[in-house]
Chains A and B, each alone.
Chain A
Amino acid sequence: MSTSAPPENDSTLPIRLISILFIIQIVGISLIVLYYLSRVSVDAWQAIELGMAFSLEDDSALVDFALTLFYLAPLTILLTIATVGVLFLWSGGWIVGMLAQCATLLICITFYIFHPLLVIYPLMIWAIFMVLVLNLNYVRRRLLRQRDEDQLLMLGGTTNN
């Protein structure tokens, strides 16, 4: 029995659809940050505005918000670049996308160890799913084809399209 892979579909639509997955991740992260923002009490904001001595330990919601804003919000920039990159089938889109997933997972694991928040779990699941999607042979081949071919030719091998 032949076990060869089915012929690849030439349509780029499935690849471009990955950008929607990135957008979902951006929306998810934004909602997480907004959720923690909504939990910060008015007193805490007033205290900051008035320049009063304020200990972060006084308001754990503010700490959560600060941490999510500081660590998670920058991810949206990476994810936006990845969205555009994948939409236009740039190899850079795959690289930035994978970098964003690495950063997401690293941040989630760090949160898990030092400051456990419930929201990190759905984010973890989504990032794992995204790693599996981006690492699909088909996706990699379509997005990194040129790079892989160059690398393979440099090694003296043959390309197989």
Chain B
Amino acid sequence: MSSQTTVTNSDTAVSEAPDQDLALLQRFEPVLRFTRGEHFFPCDVNDYVACCSLWRQLPGREAECLIPTRELTLEKLGAFSTVEQGHSRQGAVYFLKFVDPLNMVEMATHTRQQRAVDKQTQNVFQPGPGRLARVGYFSRLVDAAFSLALLVRGRVSGDTSAAASIVYEQTHAQRPHFRYHGRVVRQGDWLVLQYWFFYYFNNWRSGFFGANDHEADWEMICIYLSEDEQNNVTPEWAAYASHDYAGDDLRRHWDDPELQRVGEHPVVYPGAGSHASYYTPGEYVTELTLPFLRPIVRLADRLKHIWRTKFRQYTHINEDDGETAHGPEGEGFSIFQIPFVDYARGDGLGIGLGENNQWFAPVVLRDDAPAWAVNYRGLWGLYTQDPFSGEDAPAGPMYDRDGSVRRVWYDPVGWSGLDKVPPDNKALGVVQGQIERLEAEQQKLHETTAVKNELLCGLGVEVQAVASHRDLRTLAREYEEELDALTQELNQLRERAAHNDMVLRALHDQARRLKQGQRPPLRDHIKRAHRPTTSAEIKTSRIAEVWAAASIAVLLLGIVLLIFFARDFILVGMISIVFTVSLIEATFRRRLINFLNNTAVFLAIVASLILLYEFLLQWLVIGVIFAGLYILIINIRELRA
């Protein structure tokens, strides 16, 4: 169990007095299992802030230090006026600066010492088969551009990660502790326990070949409890934050086998360096979309959706294929997204029940405080001015980088898509309420239908009577129109009633099942589960890995050779190189059928464009002829009527 400690800072002292929130948080506090090689663990923000200085960056100016290191405290940060720091004020960005990078000598010394310590403590990270071998060729091309962009865009240097590691180890040695920040929120019928984990540094890129490095890292999980009339709580759902994903896919039922538990404590597998939270140990391929490519990704997804639904064409991942190995965002791999591997193996240090390290008393974030969380909207680490934002530090638990309040803070239930799900103990009531509502609507519908039907009959008789008189032809036409409108309205009413009947039957079935103690399926809400790469997927041959690493260079070299030796055939040459490289790629990845399919579709698109270009006038003429015929048919119909 958690060992109680006295936290001296006034903002965090609130957790000293045992209360219901604290007891709840501790009752369900998670077990964290890290990956070997991890150097940063959840801790108190107090020590971190004490090592930081506060800065302001105005556009086009040098950053200025507002509060130097050793002078900054949580109280000062909390007292920092939001009006003073507003992001809108001359576009100022406020940020903390944690450490300065090491120089070369310090870096070399640290690396040598760190290796020795890691070896001794068996905390050595072994990278798995290259991430590049697991993903497609075009993704690698985008990745190469992304890596090259690091040379010119703002970033946190690798030496900063080492410096952060030294400072963290020093502070941890002085006051060893593993601590989370807990928050209890009541929203609707749910009682939400939020566990916020603060890390000194995110060294995903420099330590684990990931996407980014940044100072400070806030991660979070939620546990959703239902309460009965005696205030007894039952855990029903959990949702782990993973990168920027949100919605149903993040949520797991408490009884879902994927959600591992030690007693009442859910187990979390944080990604190495990234600290994103996962349910099962493994290596996750995570796709990141560059901000400026998002519109293209959205357009590609939309076209793919039309291709699949309207044309009923096959795409690599079809909706009904269920779970995929890739991120919840998008549909399978997209060539505009960059894949990275998030290692969440769970073979390293563990914190929590049954592990070698235990949680210290948490810092409880109450509704009215702490001031540092509410008032300080700036970044919690270095502002690198990275246009992709990946290297900029995050804001606090309450805010996004742009200063807006995080959804998970103000709407934790909606964030995980739980707002449409009633707690188990209220489900029957909700179903019965819905049955009552629908039955009332049905009653109303039946009454209206009866009245309208009577009207229709009367109108029908009138139309018959009027139609038999030649001199009342105009009136007859008006009556017929009225008759048609009424018939249509009646059809809609009957259709609605039939639809309601079906829904009512289904609701009665559900109510019966609930009364029998049956529960709805645990995983039906999951559309794209983020699951680790399987051993079969990881098992790529050495040649495939070498090829993955070399393919982009081969492509670039081929283009250079073409420019120098066969400039006249550059287009044909480039197409041939891309085709050959893609073919080799497909062979290694055992995706020859997909390659064949994609090639055929690509050629069909090219051929369609040629046809459109060559016969534009003819296509237009055909279109106009069809439109003319259509209008003609409609007019003839009207004439005959």
A152, B536: Cα distance in complex, Å: 11
Closest to B535 in A: A156
CB of A116 to closest CB in B, whole Å: 9
Closest to A159 in B: B321
> Would B597 and A98 count as touching, CB distance under 8 A?
yes
Q: Is A138 part of the contact surface with B, judged by Cβ < 8 Å?
A: yes
CB of A86 to closest CB in B, whole Å: 15
A106, B318: Cα distance in complex, Å: 28
Interface SS majority for chain A: helix
Q: Is A53 part of the contact surface with B, judged by Cβ < 8 Å?
A: no
Q: Is A124 part of the contact surface with B, judged by Cβ < 8 Å?
A: yes
Contacts of A108 on B, CB cut-off 8 Å?
A: 607
Stretch at the interface among B194-202, B322-330, B545-553: B322-330
A43, B590: Cα distance in complex, Å: 53
Known: A121-B615, A124-B611, A155-B534. A132 touches B604 (CB 8 A): yes
Contacts of A11 on B, CB cut-off 8 Å?
A: none
CB of A51 to closest CB in B, whole Å: 35
> Would A135 and B321 count as touching, CB distance under 8 A?
no
Total residue contacts A-B, CB cutoff 8 A: 87
Q: Is B625 part of the contact surface with A, judged by Cβ < 8 Å?
A: no
A46, B223: Cα distance in complex, Å: 90
One digit per residue, 1 when the CB lies within 8 angstroms of any chain A CB and 0 when it does not, for chain B 146-163 equals 000000000000000000
Contacts of A134 on B, CB cut-off 8 Å?
A: 600
Stretch at the interface among B308-316, B406-414, B420-428, B476-484: B308-316
CB of A146 to closest CB in B, whole Å: 12
Contacts of A121 on B, CB cut-off 8 Å?
A: 611, 614-615
> Would A135 and B614 count as touching, CB distance under 8 A?
no
Q: Is A140 part of the contact surface with B, judged by Cβ < 8 Å?
A: yes
A137, B325: Cα distance in complex, Å: 21
> Would B323 and A157 count as touching, CB distance under 8 A?
yes
Contacts of B537 on A, CB cut-off 8 Å?
A: 155-156
CB of A151 to closest CB in B, whole Å: 8
CB of B534 to closest CB in A, whole Å: 4
Q: Which of A105, A135, A152, A154 contacts B597 (CB 8 A)?
A: A135
Contacts of A140 on B, CB cut-off 8 Å?
A: 314
Q: Is A158 part of the contact surface with B, judged by Cβ < 8 Å?
A: yes
Known: A131-B600, A137-B312. A125 touches B322 (CB 8 A): no
Contacts of A151 on B, CB cut-off 8 Å?
A: 590
Q: Is A87 part of the contact surface with B, judged by Cβ < 8 Å?
A: no
Closest to B605 in A: A128
Contacts of A131 on B, CB cut-off 8 Å?
A: 600-601, 603-604
Known: A106-B603, A131-B600, A137-B308. A160 touches B611 (CB 8 A): no
> Would B312 and A102 count as touching, CB distance under 8 A?
no
Q: Is A39 part of the contact surface with B, judged by Cβ < 8 Å?
A: no
> Would B321 and A160 count as touching, CB distance under 8 A?
yes
- Pick from A95, A101, A131, A147 the residue with the most CB of B within 10 Å: A131
> Would A136 and B611 count as touching, CB distance under 8 A?
no
Contacts of B600 on A, CB cut-off 8 Å?
A: 98, 101-102, 105, 131, 134-135
Q: Is B79 part of the contact surface with A, judged by Cβ < 8 Å?
A: no
Q: Is B543 part of the contact surface with A, judged by Cβ < 8 Å?
A: no
> Would A155 and B536 count as touching, CB distance under 8 A?
yes
CB of B591 to closest CB in A, whole Å: 9
- Pick from B311, B590, B610 the residue with the most CB of A within 10 Å: B610
Q: Is B140 part of the contact surface with A, judged by Cβ < 8 Å?
A: no
A-B contact sample (15 more), CB < 8 A, given A108-B607, A156-B325, A157-B322: A4-B320, A101-B603, A102-B599, A102-B600, A124-B610, A127-B607, A128-B604, A131-B601, A131-B604, A132-B604, A134-B600, A136-B313, A137-B318, A158-B323, A160-B322
Q: Which 4 A-B pairs have the closest CB atoms?
A: A105-B603, A156-B534, A131-B604, A124-B607
